[in-house]
Amino acid sequence: MGRLVAQQIVSVDGFAADRDGGLEFFGDGSDWSEIDRENDAWLGGVGRILLGARTYRLFVEYWPTATELLARRINTIPKTVFSSTLEEAPWGEWEPAQLERRDPIEVVRDLRASSDGDVVLWGSLTLFRSLLEAGQIDEVQLRVLPVALGEGTPLFDRPARLVLHEATVYAAGIPVLSYGPGD
């Protein structure tokens, strides 16, 4: 059975997007090379990427033609996009993403049961929140950027109890905090 790992990038004050819903703070100038090397190795055991429609639109603008370290892995891992509005989910020259309209909780249960590797969820806050509330997320990995936004879209929209399993601070000053579900 595969695990569902949600990898999220947040500001130090807990925002996953800025006031306008943008992600400009992701390009804060931090050196991601050390984190990317470790994530590249981990992605070798990932069997599927999950994305919501908005995150898919952001990703498909960048990743299919990217040349950086993570690009090949991201482009070759099968993807599922949850959307009630998209008609298709092409991925440039790569295999298109599978478009899913069924209940995400049901789909994720099936994917976890049939997967030998991990399943990763990136961004997709509505999807993240519903899967967390349904107890379907096994691990929440937060990459905390050294920037405070003061306002924006918070990662969490309601209380959630998590248990810290691991904390790693990278040379760039970015901590990666790994949490499991709490009681």
Q: What pLDDT, on the 0 to 100 scale, is given for residue 31? A: 80
Q: What pLDDT, on the 0 to 100 scale, is given for residue 86? A: 96
What mean pLDDT do residues 143-159 have?
A: 93
* Widest pairwise Cα distance in the chain: 44
| Predicted confidence (pLDDT) per residue in 32-85, tens digit | 888 899 999 999 999 999 999 999 999 999 999 999 999 999 999 999 999 999
- In a 13 Å sphere around the CA of 74, the CA atoms on its Cβ side amount to 20
Token pair of 3, please? 């695990």
Q: What is the pTM of this model?
A: 0.94
| Predicted confidence (pLDDT) per residue in 90-125, tens digit | 999 999 999 999 999 999 999 999 988 999 999 999
Strands (E), the chain: 4-11, 15-17, 46-52, 79-82, 98-100, 118-122, 139-145, 153-154, 162-169, 175-181
pLDDT of 10 > 80? The answer is: yes
Token pair of 2, please? 């595969």
DSSP 89: -
Percent of the chain residues topping a pLDDT of 70 = 98
Return the CATH superfamily for domain 4-156+170-176.
Dihydrofolate Reductase, subunit A (3.40.430.10)
Q: What pLDDT, on the 0 to 100 scale, is given for residue 32? A: 81
Q: What pLDDT, on the 0 to 100 scale, is given for residue 173? A: 87
Domain ranges, ordered by start, for the chain: 4-156+170-176
